[in-house]
Amino acid sequence: ELVNRFGDVPWVNTVLNETSEEAFGPRTPRKTVTDSILVRLQWAEKNIGNFESRNGANTIKQDVVLAALSRFALREATWRKYHGLGDADKYFTECARASELLMTKYPTLYTGTDGQPAAGYGEMWITEDLGKVPGVIFYKTFVEAILTHSNGHVEHTSSHEIEMPKHTVDMYLMKDGKTIDK
């Protein structure tokens, strides 16, 4: 996230304490930071293991790392390509590799109880147990009266309090290049 926002950021690869000078060090070039992140994600993929029997089904495991690796590599590859930074192919290749592994493990998209993709995706927002939804790699478990939320119905029905007001929508241009009232 910091690289996405700022480009060059401090890279710290040692444990810090409140007196560590590295905490206030200079920015490290983007290439060094992103190459280091890539190497660490690749290491995590090979070494994390899948300890579902010990940690439960919903735990950070290889599939979670592959998803993070795919997403990170795609973002960095496109950034590098469209900003002329070079090395984009290395990241595109890594994104494709991680994505292909995930697509092999999860060959279909969740379609929901009615068999329709769009309804199925909306259903994911209101289901009580995402552990039963095929293709969900990592999720937050909600427990009634302990760990809850109230946003499922808002997302599902699109009745959100921060939607764009009509006067803002009216400012957008139509296909002919004019505003809606012209």
Question: What confidence tens digit (pLDDT) does each residue in 137-178 have?
Answer: 888 777 776 666 655 555 555 555 566 666 677 767 677 777
pLDDT tens per residue, range 96-137: 999 999 999 988 766 655 555 555 556 666 677 777 777 788
What DSSP line would sit under 67-109, residue for residue? HHHHHHHHHHHHHHHHTT-S-HHHHHHHHHHHHHHHHHHS-S-
The reported pLDDT for the residue numbered 178 is: 72
